[in-house]
Amino acid sequence: MFGRQPKEEKSTENIEIPDIMFPSESELEETSEDDTELSQVSKKKTSSVIEENPEIVTVVEEISAIVSPYFIVVVGLILSDDNFWLGLVLIALGILSLLKISLKDIIGFFIEIKEGLTSDD
C-alpha cells in the first residue's frame, strides 16, 4: 500500500520528429515589424511597473529606517543579560541611530574636543 508503485514501461514506439522549416528572410522582416509594435506596448507596460517600483522601495526604506533602530535596541536589551558589553554596544548603536547621529558627527565631535584641549593660548 505504501510501497513504491511499479514503474510503467516506456513504449518502444518510434516518435517521429516533424521536419522544421526555417522562415525566409522576408518572413523574418515581417515578424520584426510586428515585434516592434508589440515591443512598444510591452515597453509601456514595463515603464509603468518601473515607475511604481521606486515608490514602493522608498516606502519600505522609510519603514525600515523607523523600525530598525528600535529592533537594535531591543536586541541589545535582550543580549545585555548574557553578554553585557555586546548588549551595551547594540543599545548605544540603536540610540545613536534613533537620534540620527552619524559616524562623521562623532568624529567631528572628538576633533573639536581635541582642538579645544590642545589650543595654544
State pLDDT tens for residues 68-102: 999 999 999 999 999 999 999 999 999 999 998 99
> Which DSSP letter does residue 117 get?
H
Query: How many structural domains comprise the chain?
Result: 1
Grid-cell match 515608490, residue found: 55
- Supply the pLDDT for residue 44: 63
Establish if 82 belongs to a structural domain: yes
Establish if 19 belongs to a structural domain: no
Chain mean position to CA 110: 35
C-alpha cell at 14: 518510434
**Does the pTM exceed 0.75?**
no
SS3 89: helix
Cα–Cα distances in Å, from 46 out to 49, 55, 90, 105, 121?
A: 5, 15, 42, 42, 66
Tens digits of residue pLDDT in 7-48 = 666 655 666 655 566 666 666 666 655 556 556 666 666 555
Establish if 59 belongs to a structural domain: yes
Burial of 72 (0-12, 13-18, 19+ CB in 10 A): buried
What is the Cα–Cα distance from 10 to 28, expressed in whole angstroms?
39
Establish if 20 belongs to a structural domain: no
Q: How many residues does the chain have?
A: 121
What is the span of the domain harbouring residue 70?
38-117
Establish if 85 belongs to a structural domain: yes
